[in-house]
């Protein structure tokens, strides 16, 4: 267990609260795997939910490595007991699609693959992609433009998006213009400064707004030094 309550309280203070009736979307991203993005996003969601008047959503947008909900389920002392499984979309829209589409006569829309469970007395909602329902040969692909984020933040104070590291997929670049702000996470002793600059530049060129940077002093367990990122990989 990693407790970042103080650090996340400082980040909340720096970012401020959403203004107006509509909530906001914040994306957390790093250049490399193992820099603690999922931990930071999860801790930020927990801290903001503790003080929010409206629900906070933690959306696990790392479509190939779903782990947020499973991790939270093991930390009941901090997140409380989970509520029942629910739909994770207010209007049926989602931020991904399956390719190729199912040929089954009983095929359902992509929305049925995205579920959510509430924690902290329904102040925090955490999503999960039901990858067990994906057919063999199908691939999950993020949608470049979708109403999902705009619709969801009408029902939330903040929508926190945990996205794959830039070295593994360029999902963050695809989502950059669709979110209200981006927080970069940098781990101590991992990678090189040029890769972080490359990520920041790619996000800004895609229309993203960098709101801040979290310096994670917890060292990741990685077997070999990280190489500079030469270009954004494709999903």
pLDDT digits (tens, 9 = 90+) for 65-104: 999 999 999 999 999 999 999 999 999 999 999 888 876 6
41 falls in which pLDDT band (50, 70, 90)? very high
With a CB cutoff of 8 Å and minimum separation 6, the contacts of 17 are: 157
Helix (H) or strand (E) holding 127: strand 124-129
Tell me the pTM.
0.88
Residue of 87, 22, 5, 39 whose CA lies nearest to 216: 39
What per-residue confidence (pLDDT) applies to 134?
Answer: 85
What per-residue confidence (pLDDT) applies to 54?
Answer: 93
pLDDT at 220 over 50: no
* Other residues' Cβ atoms within 10 Å of the Cβ of residue 219: 12
pLDDT at 232 over 60: no
197 to 64, 161, 204: CA distances (angstroms): 25, 21, 11
103 to 63, 111, 139, 179: CA distances (angstroms): 22, 17, 14, 33
pLDDT at 230 over 70: no
Of residues 227 and 146, more confidently modeled: 146
178 falls in which pLDDT band (50, 70, 90)? very high
Mean pLDDT for all residues in the chain:
87
What per-residue confidence (pLDDT) applies to 226?
Answer: 53
Structure tokens at 196: 């972080």
């Amino acid at each position: 267990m990693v407790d970042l309550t103080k650090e996340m309280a400082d980040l909340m203070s720096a970012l401020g609260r959403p203004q107006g009736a509509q909530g906001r979307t914040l994306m957390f991203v790093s250049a490399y795997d193992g820099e603690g993005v999922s931990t930071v996003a999860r801790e930020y969601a927990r801290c903001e939910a503790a003080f929010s008047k409206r629900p906070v959503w933690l959306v696990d947008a790392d479509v190939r490595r779903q782990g947020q909900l499973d991790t939270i389920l093991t930390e009941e002392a901090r997140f409380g007991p989970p509520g029942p499984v629910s739909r994770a979309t207010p209007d049926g829209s989602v931020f991904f699609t399956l390719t190729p589409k199912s040929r089954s006569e009983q095929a359902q829309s992509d929305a049925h693959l995205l579920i959510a469970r509430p924690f902290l007395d329904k102040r925090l909602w955490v999503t999960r992609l039901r990858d067990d329902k994906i057919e063999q040969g199908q691939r999950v692909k993020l949608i470049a433009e979708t109403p999902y984020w705009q619709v969801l933040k009408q029902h939330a104070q903040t929508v926190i998006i945990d996205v794959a590291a830039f070295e593994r997929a360029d999902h963050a670049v695809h989502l950059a213009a669709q979110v209200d702000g981006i927080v970069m996470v940098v781990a101590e002793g991992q990678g090189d400064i040029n890769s972080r600059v490359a990520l920041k530049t790619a996000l800004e060129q895609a229309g993203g707004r960098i709101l801040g940077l979290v310096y994670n002093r917890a060292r990741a367990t990685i077997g070999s030094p990280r190489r500079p990122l030469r270009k954004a990989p494709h999903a």
